[in-house]
A and B are shown apart, each in its own frame.
Chain A
Amino acid sequence: MTPRQRLLVFLAGAAGLAALLAWGVAGLPGFGDHRSAYGQLVTRSSVPLRNATDVVTVVNLDVRGLDTIGEEFILFCSVTAAAVLLRRQARERVGAARDEFPGRRAPGRDDAVLVLGTAMGALVVCFGLYVVGHGQLTPGGGFQGGGILAAGVALLYLASGVRTLERMAPEWLLEVGEAVGAGAFVLIGLASLAAGAAFLQDLLPLGSSGTITAGGTLGLINAAIGLEVAAGISLVVSLFLVQLARIEEADRP
């Protein structure tokens, strides 16, 4: 099929799809007229029931907690799939780290970049921990903070190169972090079952609203998710960098 034929087939299909989507959207309540009994009920009960002020975290980790476990394992499986795809293939070998684009010489290590990158990395990690820790109070939580923490690992690479990255955040450590984070969420749910309550039911004291201990297990679950997301995304970043910098064809001199 030539590109032109393919484009014509697409345009016919897209016109139909756009018409169907526009028809479907026309049946929605207008922008700004949203009235959801479910959403209002959750909003009104999140402080009385959980002492948590970020309703989005309450929805994700409590009201829809079981779904979030499923989502967490989507992340886990995707990271595993990426790791399998990026492993050394049969005709390849792991060579010395060539931290440069083919045909271009990398500049040597620069002290200014190293100092600035390390300082920024420390700040980013502090901010990531803050976002993970305050997920039940203000916008944030394990998923968002974990992403910020993984950015710290990427900064470490930018400041000091792939060898330092492999030494300070080795693959086995990231794999263990990811597995512990994913397992801890399930174990928190099972602990409630073992105590005779419902899965993921909160048995810890709820703390006082507005402090970091508010929300009982919400903080623990956020910490588990933060660990898993930070380790998982860092692992993917590290796998791509090792793939580019170290894995080469075996028959090369």
Chain B
Amino acid sequence: MSPLVAWLPFGVAVWLFVVGLYGIVTSRHLVHLIVCLSVVQSSTYVLLLAVGYRSGALPPILIDVPARTPTVDPIVQALCLTDVVVEVTVMAVLLALAVQAHKRFGTADPTRLRPQRG
């Protein structure tokens, strides 16, 4: 495997993290901001799956697989599943907050939201 291919998945993970943060910092709309946060989080999926990959190995589904055949790491895949569930639920809470912020302030632009006393 060439060095470029060997480091590309990790490079993609770093790129997704940083570009998602850029989107959050420059965002002009709360929904856009929340989607950018999910881009940041998707870097962790790429990183986890890349860490667990093993060249030439089979998926960790042991149907008709001879014993002691190498498989990719099931632990990181399970962590990735956890990660997806948490992302979905956190997005639901943030979108609900965005709906209420838009109703209260009349805008969804985070730079125009002002602190208020409840």
In the complex, are the beta carbons of B55 and A240 less than 8 A apart? no
One of A36, A46, A143, A239 near B62 (C-beta < 8 A): A46
What per-residue 1/0 map shows which CB atoms of A59-78 lie under 8 Å from chain B?
11000100110010011001
A56 touching B78 in the complex, CB below 8 Å, given contacts A34-B54, A236-B92: yes
In the complex, are the beta carbons of A14 and B21 less than 8 A apart? yes
* C-alpha gap A38/B78 in the complex (Å): 13
Interface residues of B (CB under 8 A from A): 1, 5-11, 13-14, 17-18, 21-22, 25-26, 50-55, 59-63, 67-68, 70-78, 81-82, 84-86, 88-90, 92-93, 95-97, 99-100, 103, 111
Which of A16-24, A106-114, A153-161, A198-206 is found at the contact surface with chain B?
Answer: A16-24
In the complex, are the beta carbons of A79 and B62 less than 8 A apart? no
What per-residue 1/0 map shows which CB atoms of A208-246 lie under 8 Å from chain B?
001000000000000000000100110010011001000
Name the 6 nearest CB pairs between A and B, nearest first: A78-B89, A32-B55, A39-B73, A55-B60, A85-B96, A55-B74
In the complex, are the beta carbons of B82 and A68 less than 8 A apart? yes
In the complex, are the beta carbons of A85 and B100 less than 8 A apart? yes
In the complex, are the beta carbons of B10 and A31 less than 8 A apart? yes
* Residues of chain B contacted by A240 (CB below 8 angstroms): 95-96, 99
* Residues of chain B contacted by A38 (CB below 8 angstroms): 75
Interface residues of A (CB under 8 A from B): 3, 6-7, 10, 14, 17-18, 21-22, 25, 28, 30-36, 38-40, 42-44, 46-47, 53-56, 58-60, 64, 67-68, 71, 74-75, 78-79, 81-82, 85-86, 89, 137-139, 143-144, 147, 210, 229, 232-233, 236, 239-240, 243
Closest to B56 in A: A32
One of B10, B18, B75, B111 near A14 (C-beta < 8 A): B18
* Residues of chain B contacted by A28 (CB below 8 angstroms): 10, 51
In whole Å, how far is B4's beta carbon from the nearest beta carbon of chain A?
A: 11
* C-alpha gap A55/B77 in the complex (Å): 10
In the complex, are the beta carbons of A243 and B5 less than 8 A apart? no
In the complex, are the beta carbons of B25 and A56 less than 8 A apart? no
